[in-house]
Amino acid sequence: MKKMTLALGFVAVAFLAAALYAKSENAHVQRIGMVIGMKEDRISAYEALHAASNPGVRDLLQKYNMHNFSIFIHELDGKYYLFGYYEYTGTDYKADMAKLAAEPRNEKWLATTGPMQIPLPCEQSWSMMKEVYHNP
């Protein structure tokens, strides 16, 4: 019985430690939402570039602390829009984004995908969105 109580106590402490670690890790997550228009005639090509079989710049996203990256597409009044979401886990967002922007492979990627997109008015690329709600 003592062994069972000790084992259960150990499991409880392990779960508590894991929960506290996860909470401290998530405390540094910055959620990023962004939107941009999409040229209808380029949707298939854009989707092919982002297919699972194409590594693209995924390793660079990880290198610069961008995780859980997703892109969605939606049609609204005959126009198409991309919505992007990712979680930034680094400590210096501006510096990491500057380093990513300077990566030659990322520059090539953006030169390929950029002409497929239509920035919103007064923007040159993706428009950053303000988070209004998060349910942790």
Note every long-range contact of 53-56, with CB atoms under 8 Å and residues 24 or more positions apart, other chains counting: 56/109
Q: How high is the pLDDT of residue 21?
A: 46
Chosen CATH of 29-129 out of 3.10.105.10, 3.30.70.100, 3.40.50.1970, 3.40.718.10: 3.30.70.100
pLDDT tens across 104-128, in order? Answer: 999 999 999 999 999 999 999 999 9
* Structure confidence by residue, pLDDT tens digits, 10-67: 444 444 444 444 444 556 899 999 999 999 999 999 999 999 878 889 999 999 999 9
Q: Which residue has the tokens 């990712």?
A: 86
pLDDT at 130 over 60: yes
